[in-house]
Structure formats: structure tokens, C-alpha cells
């Protein structure tokens, strides 16, 4: 007997990922999440939808914008592209992370080859270093 793949209603999916329905609908609208099977109250969501939403949440917690997350999702569906040439007039998308007042970390995730988890660890370490430096400067 063939096992049927698990599917979820929008309410069930939202409960699993702890997101409001409106947010999930928005992610579908902007193309971050695949459209469901069916429409209206009969729409069904698969394990793939659940994985997409969990991936989006992971990248958001790492500090990435929805725009950058969309790029990463598109890259995961397509074969990897070589890094763009670094010449005058070239365009690159970079993550700007505010570490402290006057300190910003600029990272090109494609060139750095960092996963969202690695990026978050790097950011945490830099923030910790800045806080340590600042506490030493404040101590007489």
C-alpha cells in the first residue's frame, strides 16, 4: 500500500512554524514559498512548504533580509554561479550588519562562502569582541 505524503492546512502549517497566516500568505505572494495545492479553504501545504518556512526563519534569525533570502532560495534551485568579477561598475549584493555604534560589518555571503549559521556565529563573535573592548575602555 502506497503511503500518502503528509499535507497541512494553512492553520496547521502556521502552528508548526509559529507564524501568522498573513505572513505565510505574504511569503507566497512574493515568491519565497511555493503556492499550495488547491485554493481557498481546500489549499493543502506539503512538507516542502514547511521546510521553506523553516529555512526562511533560520535566515531571518541570522540577520538576512527577505530580499537576500529570496536570492539564496533562487540559488538553491539553480546551479551555483561563479562569483561576479570585481571591477569598476560591477554590482554585488552584500549584508550590512550593525555591530555597535559606528561599527558595521559588510559581508558578501557568496564570496565568503558562509552558511547562515556560520554568518550568525561570526556576527555574535564580533559583537562580543566589541562589547569586551568597550567594557575595557570604560573601566578606569
Cα gap 32→74, rounded to integer Å: 9
The rounded Cα 107 to chain-centroid distance in angstroms is 15
Say yes or no to pLDDT of 108 above 80.
no
Residue 25 confidence (pLDDT): 92
| pLDDT surpasses 80 at 95 | no
Q: CB–CB of 47/6 below 8 Å?
A: yes
Binning pLDDT at 50, 70 and 90, where does residue 77 land?
low
In the predicted structure, residue 65 carries a pLDDT above the cut 80: yes
Residue 80 pLDDT > 50, yes or no? no
The per-residue pLDDT of the chain, averaged, comes to 80
Which pLDDT does position 121 carry in this prediction?
82
For residue 105, what pLDDT is reported? 83
C-beta pairs of 53-62 under 8 Å, 24+ apart in sequence? 53/13, 53/17, 53/19, 53/24, 53/27, 54/17, 56/27, 56/32, 57/17, 57/19, 58/116, 58/117, 59/116, 61/116, 61/120, 62/116, 62/117, 62/119, 62/120, 62/123
Please state the pTM of the whole predicted model. 0.52
The per-residue pLDDT for 49 is 92
pLDDT of 72 above 70: yes
Amino acid at each position: 500500500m502506497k503511503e500518502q505524503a503528509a499535507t497541512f492546512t494553512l492553520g496547521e502549517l502556521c502552528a508548526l512554524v509559529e507564524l501568522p497566516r498573513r505572513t505565510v500568505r505574504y511569503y507566497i505572494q512574493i515568491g519565497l514559498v511555493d503556492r499550495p495545492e488547491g485554493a481557498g479553504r481546500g489549499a493543502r501545504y506539503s512538507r516542502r512548504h514547511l521546510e521553506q518556512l523553516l529555512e526562511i526563519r533560520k535566515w531571518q534569525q541570522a540577520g538576512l533580509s527577505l530580499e537576500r533570502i529570496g536570492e539564496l532560495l533562487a540559488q538553491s534551485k539553480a546551479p551555483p554561479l561563479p562569483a561576479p568579477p570585481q571591477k569598476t561598475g560591477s554590482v554585488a549584493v552584500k549584508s550590512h550588519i550593525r555591530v555597535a555604534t559606528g561599527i558595521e560589518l559588510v559581508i558578501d555571503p557568496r564570496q565568503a562562502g558562509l552558511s547562515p549559521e556560520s554568518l550568525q556565529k561570526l556576527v555574535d563573535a564580533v559583537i562580543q569582541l566589541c562589547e569586551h573592548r568597550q567594557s575595557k575602555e570604560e573601566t578606569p
